[in-house]
């Protein structure tokens, strides 16, 4: 049964950020993350991925969604201290069923 642990890095929930890459990829999102106090459902990992962006630069944010559903999403831009400096997502419920946002 220990071989199951080898599959953990391949696991993904029904939504996963693909670019910029998640800061702690395989645990970035869980179905219960809404109940979590931490950003993206997990605490910041000191060895996690960091994406540096230049001020004023255009960025295309992409994600993988394996399950189509009605619901919210939240995209926030954080500084190096984990403080929110911009909210990039709408505040209302939206449906992403193959429709442009």
* % of the chain exceeding 70 in pLDDT: 40
* Mean pLDDT, residues 46-64: 79
Q: Is the peptide bond before 98 cis (omega within 30 degrees of 0)?
A: no
Whether the per-residue pLDDT at 60 is higher than 70: the answer is yes
46 pLDDT more than 50? yes
**Domain contains 12:** yes
pLDDT tens digits, residue range 5-41?
Answer: 444 444 445 667 788 877 665 554 544 444 444 445 5
Domain assignment present for 65: yes
Residue 85 included in any domain: no
User: Could you give the CA distance from residue 61 to residue 96 in angstroms, rounded to a whole number?
Assistant: 14
- 52 occurs within a structural domain: yes
Range of 62's domain? 2-69
Question: Is residue 20 one of the residues assigned to a domain?
Answer: yes
- Look at residue 98 and tell me if it is in a domain: no
Secondary structure in 3-state letters for the chain = CHHHHHHHHHCCCCEEEEECCCCCHHHCCCCCHHHCCCHHHCCCCCCCCCCCCCCCCCCCCEEEECCCCEECCCCEEECCCCCEEEECCCCCCEECCCCCC
Mean pLDDT of the chain: 64
Give a yes or no: residue 19 inside a domain. yes
Q: Is residue 80 part of a domain?
A: no
User: What local confidence, expressed as pLDDT, does residue 5 receive?
Assistant: 46
If one counts the domains in the chain, the total is 1
């Amino acid at each position: 049964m220990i071989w199951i642990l080898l599959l953990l890095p391949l696991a993904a929930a029904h939504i996963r950020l693909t670019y910029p890459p998640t800061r702690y990829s395989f645990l970035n999102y869980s179905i219960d993350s809404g109940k979590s106090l931490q950003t993206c459902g997990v605490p910041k990992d000191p060895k996690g991925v960091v994406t540096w962006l230049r001020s004023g630069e255009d960025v295309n944010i992409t994600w993988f969604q394996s399950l189509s559903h009605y619901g919210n999403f939240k995209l926030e831009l954080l500084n190096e201290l984990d403080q929110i400096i911009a909210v990039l997502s709408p505040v209302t419920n939206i449906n992403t069923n193959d429709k442009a946002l």
